Chain A
């Protein structure tokens, strides 16, 4: 069982990209003519030499993958995570033989089935029935194989009534369900999957997830790329984290995801703190969360610093707001709720907010903080102070159970017999 199924050695992929040189707003006809003439001559030469044509005035090499090496054992589920442009899709495209590597070598043991998109090759004019055969053949299934699981495919997709309707008349949900259903019945030894779970409604997604899980449990090697960390955590035995074309972590799912969050939070400096309400003498800075890369559901701590050029013994109260990625306030904490006020009598003061029972669901939240004066007017309100990451993990350290909603809260439960 522990035979190597995918072996990747020093894999690199380089693309050529063209740039348009920044131009002055007004340019003379002569300049345009000279530039166009030069571009035309270059394109002509490229074509004569059989090279590809690149638009733009300057050409640069872009390394999408840089000396990547890893191994996947048979029956292992490997997750690949990373930001957009980290090289995930390029890696999958090379492994599924769509594009050639520039350097390096890949050895694949077994038939490869790749799902870089659901419904590849679906033709809108053809009926559902015809598209099942078309899509199946494109994904490398034999006609007989498709016929064998035809009923399962139709049943899983739930489109039996519309089998002879052209798929262009399908609702987008039906379309995607049918497409995934064909793909889910693919039976290769190595399965390469990209983001396909980002389709359909929640109920269908969880069915897809179950299907993927059973594929993984049946001893097939699965390579899974997703932005959905909860999915990766649930399915993958091991995760590699890509950044700018290189592997920066190759570890268990939990560790690699934690590393991903750490990398993310160190990148938060790129967004500048902004003031919704600014004050001439007060500045809010440095949000630190403990543990610094996030926390399990349960207790959390946020620390921020206020610098003050005009210290005063007057009592102030403070607030912290956490916003979800959609920019909506997810929760807030006000010091006045516990009748706490603090004087701002130092040049620099640290404030700590600690919550025993966190109500937020896993995700990234942006921190805002500010302070009120004794009359209740807001003196300063800073946005984009930093990011708080709630890991997809339960208090007990177990995997996140997948609950959805805006918030979740610990409550006291009881029952009585009547």
Chain B
């Protein structure tokens, strides 16, 4: 059997990068499995944390936006359900983005001691965010039963929006992770963006409250399309969906993902020297 030949040269773009990624595919599971099993170790209530956090946030949002500010829900859907349907993708996005952006720093001992395609580290943290999404989805099902709210056929399109959400968090996540290695400023920037984004995205309120003249600007946020899409899938025809926002989301996340991967690969080779 001929032995694989590797040539190392400065600035040489790795020809076998994607093949290498395939060779190391098990590292995805292993790192993701590590992060999952380590997550709630030595906590008293363990996995319950994954339930309590979204539920309490939902309660607060329902009270503040629904009861105090008296914002309208989507059609006749209960406000709590509408909030939760929006929180699902948002929470996925925010966890994925912040975990991914810190992932390389958190694994610096690996980066400086062994070789593997670095892209595995931030990507596997995004995979971990899926676990939270699955748990939250379970809570959502429980709430739907409680409110006796039957889903309609659109729910089968949900994976499509999950995919857009995945791309929307991975693209900027990769970029932020790479930048964070070089400039630790991003450690402070990302939480700020996430906090800010919560109010720029229709999490606590419905997109229908946005004035018409601002909608163009508003749709530039790819999470608007994702959240609206989630609501449309879950709440069915009670929710309105603006297909322009979905279209903008698909285009911008694709661009973001391509940009993120490109930037990451460009900086990847110097990580060990900088971290």
Chain A positions within 8 Å of B, measured between CB atoms, are 15, 47, 52-53, 93-112, 114, 116-117, 120-121, 123, 125-126, 130, 133-134, 137-140, 142-143, 166, 189
Q: Are B3 and A96 in contact (CB under 8 A)?
A: no
30 contacts between A and B (CB under 8 A): A47-B183, A52-B182, A52-B273, A98-B113, A98-B114, A98-B115, A101-B10, A104-B10, A105-B9, A106-B8, A107-B6, A107-B7, A108-B5, A111-B4, A120-B114, A121-B107, A121-B109, A121-B110, A123-B38, A126-B34, A130-B34, A130-B37, A133-B30, A134-B30, A134-B34, A137-B27, A138-B27, A138-B30, A140-B24, A142-B26
B272 at the interface (CB under 8 A from A): yes
Our pick among A102, A105, A126 for the contact of B7 (Cβ within 8 Å) is A105
> Per-residue CB proximity of B1-31 to A under 8 Å, as 1/0?
0011111111100000000000110110011
Contacts of B116 in A (CB 8 A): 138, 140
Which of B24, B42, B113 has the most chain A CB atoms closer than 10 A to its own CB?
B113
A98 to B274, CA, bound (A): 12
Contacts of B113 in A (CB 8 A): 98, 116-117, 120-121
Contacts of B269 in A (CB 8 A): 99-100
Q: Are B9 and A101 in contact (CB under 8 A)?
A: yes
- Output the least CB separation between B49 and chain A (Å): 16
Contacts of A117 in B (CB 8 A): 113
Q: Which residue of B lies closest to A112 (CB)?
A: B6
Contacts of A94 in B (CB 8 A): 8
166-203 of chain B: CB within 8 A of chain A: 182-183
Q: Are A126 and B8 in contact (CB under 8 A)?
A: no
Given contacts A101-B9, A108-B5, 14 further A-B pairs with CB under 8 A are: A47-B183, A94-B8, A100-B10, A100-B270, A104-B10, A108-B6, A110-B4, A111-B4, A114-B114, A116-B113, A123-B34, A125-B41, A133-B30, A137-B26
Given A94-B8, A105-B8, A110-B3, A116-B114 contact (CB < 8 Å): yes
Interface size on B, residues (CB 8 A): 36
Contacts of A116 in B (CB 8 A): 113-114
Which of B4, B41, B110, B273 has the most chain A CB atoms closer than 10 A to its own CB?
B273
Our pick among A97, A105, A109, A142 for the contact of B3 (Cβ within 8 Å) is A109
A166 to B4, CA, bound (A): 37
B57 at the interface (CB under 8 A from A): no
Chain B positions within 8 Å of A, measured between CB atoms, are 3-11, 23-24, 26-27, 30-31, 34, 37-38, 41-42, 107, 109-116, 182-183, 269-270, 272-274
Contacts of B5 in A (CB 8 A): 107-109
- Output the least CB separation between B188 and chain A (Å): 14
Q: Which residue of A lies closest to B38 (CB)?
A: A125
The 9 closest A-B CB pairs, nearest first, are A97-B115, A137-B30, A106-B8, A110-B3, A99-B272, A108-B6, A100-B269, A120-B113, A98-B272
Q: Which residue of B lies closest to A116 (CB)?
A: B113
Contacts of B107 in A (CB 8 A): 121
Q: Which residue of B lies closest to A138 (CB)?
A: B114
A189 to B116, CA, bound (A): 17
Q: Which residue of A lies closest to B35 (CB)?
A: A123
Q: Which residue of A lies closest to B182 (CB)?
A: A52
Q: Are A126 and B38 in contact (CB under 8 A)?
A: yes
Contacts of A108 in B (CB 8 A): 5-8
- Output the least CB separation between A237 and chain B (Å): 20
Q: Are A97 and B26 in contact (CB under 8 A)?
A: no
A99 to B111, CA, bound (A): 9
A123 to B107, CA, bound (A): 11
A133 to B114, CA, bound (A): 16
A166 to B273, CA, bound (A): 31
- Output the least CB separation between A35 and chain B (Å): 21
Q: Are A121 and B114 in contact (CB under 8 A)?
A: yes
A53 to B24, CA, bound (A): 32
A139 to B270, CA, bound (A): 20
Contacts of A166 in B (CB 8 A): 41
Our pick among A53, A101, A102 for the contact of B182 (Cβ within 8 Å) is A53
Contacts of B110 in A (CB 8 A): 120-121, 138
Our pick among A93, A102, A106, A126 for the contact of B272 (Cβ within 8 Å) is A93
Our pick among B3, B4, B11, B26 for the contact of A100 (Cβ within 8 Å) is B11
Q: Are A53 and B183 in contact (CB under 8 A)?
A: yes
A51 to B110, CA, bound (A): 23
A126 to B273, CA, bound (A): 28
- Output the least CB separation between B176 and chain A (Å): 14
A138 to B270, CA, bound (A): 19
Given A120-B113, A121-B114, A100-B27 contact (CB < 8 Å): no
Q: Are A106 and B7 in contact (CB under 8 A)?
A: yes
A111 to B3, CA, bound (A): 8
Q: Which residue of A lies closest to B14 (CB)?
A: A97
Contacts of B8 in A (CB 8 A): 94-95, 97, 100-101, 105-108
Q: Are A96 and B270 in contact (CB under 8 A)?
A: no
Q: Which residue of B lies closest to A143 (CB)?
A: B26
Which of A97, A106, A134 has the most chain B CB atoms closer than 10 A to its own CB?
A97
Q: Are A15 and B10 in contact (CB under 8 A)?
A: no
Which of A106, A117, A137, A140 has the most chain B CB atoms closer than 10 A to its own CB?
A137
Contacts of A137 in B (CB 8 A): 26-27, 30-31
A189 to B5, CA, bound (A): 11
A123 to B42, CA, bound (A): 14
Q: Are A97 and B38 in contact (CB under 8 A)?
A: no
A139 to B30, CA, bound (A): 12
A120 to B27, CA, bound (A): 14
- Output the least CB separation between B6 and chain A (Å): 4
